[in-house]
Structure 1
Amino acid sequence: MRENPGTGASAEPHRLLRRQQARVPTLPEYLKQVRVQQKPKLSRRNAESKTGVSEHYIRDIETGQRQPSAHTIEQLIAGYQLIPPQARHVRELLAPPIDLTPTETLHSQVHRSQGLLDHMSILEDRGVLAAYVDPLLNVLLLNKHMLRAYPRLDEVGNVAPWIFGPYSRGVLTDRANEADQVVALLKAVMGRHRNAPQTTHLLSRLRPNNDFNRIWTTRTRIAYGRETTDYLRWRDQITGERFAASIYSTDVEVPDVVLYLAFHKRDNDIRGDT
């Protein structure tokens, strides 16, 4: 199924959008991005004084002509004052990429695991929103509560295109936050699994969306999880009620499979707690 592209950057010239297409994360590109997005913006000469790495060496790293050492990477992390998720991302981009189990294999393993199926049934009986996904947020199995909160997610097959596509409009009440969250998460995961075919395939699905490209190419945020107080907020499409949920994720018995749980209550109740 093809999702309609977003409209947030539709007024930008087509030529500009072509130059700012989302690409698989690389160490040279990310290091350049964090340098130029420093406040104030750092030239390579000023970056040399902050990091202790020569201007010419920084240029060669950013253009892919030299592979930095681990020591140099630590100098850049300290000089650019990267926060822990960004620093981890840089280190993972320096390390060799990690393979990722094909989505079809994971789907089969989840549906053959009686333990995982039984656990999903228990969560459904308890009214907990739950889904098994792979690290790239490809949906492997979800319960009826999650499907009610994310209408037609089973058809779209991945959380990210669902968020940036038409089905999330009128459902997510803080869609901008969810878009920012999913991009930060995907950057981390795609950096780790940058050679996986699933990474290339998902980016090809998301790239036609102008909003996705804008966030991907202009922000350096990286996420390896989500604060439980950063609530997912949505409107029930049947009753019109607004809900909010704390999101939890945990690994399960099948490698490369993650269980996502959402413990929800009425949004007004949560806002009243804060």
Structure 2
Amino acid sequence: MVDLIEIMSPAMPSFGEFLRHLRDERSLSREGLARSAGVSASYINHLEIGRRDHPTRPIVEALAGNLERALPLSQDERRYLFDLAGLPDIEVPEVADLRADISPEMLRRIDRCGSDPAGYFDLRWNILALNDAAHQAFPGLREIGNVMHWLLSDGRSGAVLAEHDLVVESAVAALRARIALPCNAVWAGQLLADLCRYPEFAGRWAAGRVAYSLAQPAVRLRDRVSGKLFRLDLQLYDVDTARHPGWTRMFWGIGAR
């Protein structure tokens, strides 16, 4: 007779379970963690057994800080602790911080695209990195450092983009979609005020078009040397990082010359 082995379903991750794991890993007692975090040991116990599942941000910050003092938390561990508490990161990173997140491997990834333009940008359309093909295809973009400002202020964008107006319309519609979440209001107001000084942007914004998917899946570019038109099929990817989740995207233009 074949023995039947009961297969246990894995438990869903929880804030309390992960807090207990981090505390045990550091050989911290509930009392020790509680005392240094400014809460009671019974509160720590309630968190760990699931009787309290919505700690506030200041409490999670205090717990993370005291765990950190015993043994450094990795960026992934810190983010996971806050994600399990239902507290996504609302900090608005500086462009320099996001550029610092672009690792050598990420740079190699866009370099491997060869003659296809590729790069990284953030939610505000700030350029974080470009490969050489993108630098050649979009003159001035690296220097200006922001896709929207390049489209609206640099005449070279109109020279290389055969359907410049459609690209601007798509970029504005995508921006409207991206800033819909309440947490994005922290940076969105300043960005909109900055962009509305361009009449073209103000008119497009007032039209109210919104696009979550890629509104312009392909663009036609004009070769700067020959003047010949060629098509770029655009692919966009969210690129997650532990330090600044949800902020970085990659583009890859697959071209046919």
TM band (smaller chain): 0.5 to 0.7
Q: Which residue of 2 aligns with 1:243?
A: 230
AA partner of residue 240 (structure 1): G
- Establish whether residue 122 from structure 1 lines up as the match of residue 109 from structure 2: no
* Among candidates 143, 146, 165, match of residue 158 of structure 1: 146
AA partner of residue 259 (structure 1): M
- Per the TM alignment, residue 116 of structure 1 is displaced from its structure 2 partner at its CA by 0.7
- Establish whether residue 137 from structure 1 lines up as the match of residue 125 from structure 2: yes
Where 2:101 maps in the other structure, the secondary structure is helix
More off after superposition, 202-211 vs 154-163: 202-211
- Per the TM alignment, residue 150 of structure 1 is displaced from its structure 2 partner at its CA by 0.9
Where 2:211 maps in the other structure, the secondary structure is coil
* Among candidates 212, 215, 218, match of residue 224 of structure 1: 212
Structure 1 CA distance for aligned equivalents of residues 196 and 136 of structure 2: 27
Q: Which residue of 2 aligns with 1:214?
A: 203
Q: Which residue of 1 aligns with 2:4?
A: none
Structure 2 CA distance for aligned equivalents of residues 238 and 201 of structure 1: 38
**Do 1:163 and 1:179's aligned partners in 2 also have CA atoms closer than 8 Å?**
yes
**Do 1:252 and 1:258's aligned partners in 2 also have CA atoms closer than 8 Å?**
yes
Structure 1 CA distance for aligned equivalents of residues 230 and 190 of structure 2: 32
Deviation track 1:51-75 (CA, whole Å, cap 9, x = no partner) reads: xxxxxxxxxxxxxxxxxxxxxxxxx
TM-score normalized by structure 2? 0.58
Q: Which residue of 2 aligns with 1:259?
A: 250
Supply the RMSD in Å over aligned alpha carbons.
2.2
Q: Which residue of 2 aligns with 1:168?
A: 157
Deviation track 1:22-49 (CA, whole Å, cap 9, x = no partner) reads: xxxxxxxxxxxxxxxxxxxxxxxxxxxx
**Do 1:207 and 1:213's aligned partners in 2 also have CA atoms closer than 8 Å?**
yes
**Do 1:97 and 1:195's aligned partners in 2 also have CA atoms closer than 8 Å?**
no
Aligned CA distance change for structure 1 residues 100 and 191 (closer, same or farther; 3 Å): farther
Identity %: 27
Structure 1 CA distance for aligned equivalents of residues 196 and 156 of structure 2: 18
Structure 2 CA distance for aligned equivalents of residues 227 and 186 of structure 1: 11
TM-score normalized by structure 1? 0.55
Q: Which residue of 2 aligns with 1:272?
A: none
Which residues of structure 1 form unaligned runs of 5+?
Answer: 1-95, 267-274
- Per the TM alignment, residue 149 of structure 1 is displaced from its structure 2 partner at its CA by 1.5
- Per the TM alignment, residue 139 of structure 1 is displaced from its structure 2 partner at its CA by 0.2
**Do 1:99 and 1:195's aligned partners in 2 also have CA atoms closer than 8 Å?**
no
- Per the TM alignment, residue 162 of structure 1 is displaced from its structure 2 partner at its CA by 1.0
